[in-house]
Homo-oligomer: A and B are copies of this chain.
Amino acid sequence: MKKNIQQEKPHEHLIKDAKKLVLAYPKVPLTVDCAIFGFEESQLKVLVIKSDLEMYDGHYSLLGDIVQDNEELDEAAYRVLKARTGMNDVFLDQVRAFSHPARHPGGRVITVAYCSLLNINHHQLKIHDNELNWHSVSTLKDMAFDHKEIVDECYSWLQKRIQEHPLGFNLLPEKFSLRELQNLYEAILGVSLDRRNFRKKFASMDLLIDINEMEQDVPHRPGKLYKFNFEKYETSKRKWIGIDF
């Protein structure tokens, strides 16, 4: 927007100097926070770090940073992600802004939350300060700031999105078995699924490429490995017709 309601009068003139207008606006500190999810040992995990604020000593916080001048929010989030994980080409999407006036003990700070999905094994954590680590989502608590609320919201967001779009592949290795895929869905949705129906579902979607390789070193019959068919997915995204409460 760009117009202050209080300023309005019946026949005001058009504003010529937009710069002057904006200079008069109040300003707030703005950050991005990333809920970076990974999948390991059949558990959904999120990347956290020990807070370096004394009042949150021992509590975890999400990775985030100040938004720089002339930086888009997406860029800022991506910068945080890359600085910590070293990864490019990572799934990243904005969830929503959090603006409670007391959410930061240092004063008013508004943050925009991002959800990111990556394969834990495809990267090395870049900085091991502050006990950067993967924490199981289900056992998280006592986070710094409003970060628990942010994680909860991002997790709900993920649960919903993963049922509408095949995002789960971002959390798996390039080659994966159907068992791994199902474990992932079960972990994220918190339900158990029928194996045969699950396989039929994905078979009928035709989004998996059979690469004619098998699992190695498993203590049971090895399963086939698949890749995700990104091309096919890109050319046939969901059409949104049908009311369904």
The chain B residue with its CB closest to the CB of A107 is: B22
A16 contacts partner chain B, Cβ-Cβ < 8 Å:
yes
Specify how many copies of this chain sit in the oligomer: 2
- Also in contact, A22 and B109, with CB within 8 A (given A4-B65, A164-B245): yes
The chain B residue with its CB closest to the CB of A1 is: B64
From B15, B68, B106, contact of A26 by CB (8 A): B68
A32 contacts partner chain B, Cβ-Cβ < 8 Å:
yes
Interface residue tally for chain A (C-beta within 8 Å):
92
Residues from 52 to 71 in A contacting B, C-beta threshold 8 Å: 52-55, 57, 61-71
- Asked if B238 and A245 make an inter-chain contact with CB atoms under 8 angstroms apart, the answer reads yes
CA distance in complex: A27, B164 (Å): 36
CA distance in complex: A62, B3 (Å): 10
Chain B neighbourhood of A57, CB < 8 A: 14
7 shortest interchain CB distances as A-B pairs: A1-B64, A18-B106, A22-B106, A27-B27, A25-B29, A73-B99, A14-B54
Q: Which residues of A are interface residues toward B (Cβ below 8 A)?
A: 1-5, 8-10, 12, 14-23, 25-33, 49, 51-55, 57, 61-74, 80, 83-84, 94, 96-97, 99-101, 104-112, 127, 129-130, 144-145, 159-160, 162-166, 185, 189, 191, 201, 205, 207, 238, 240-245
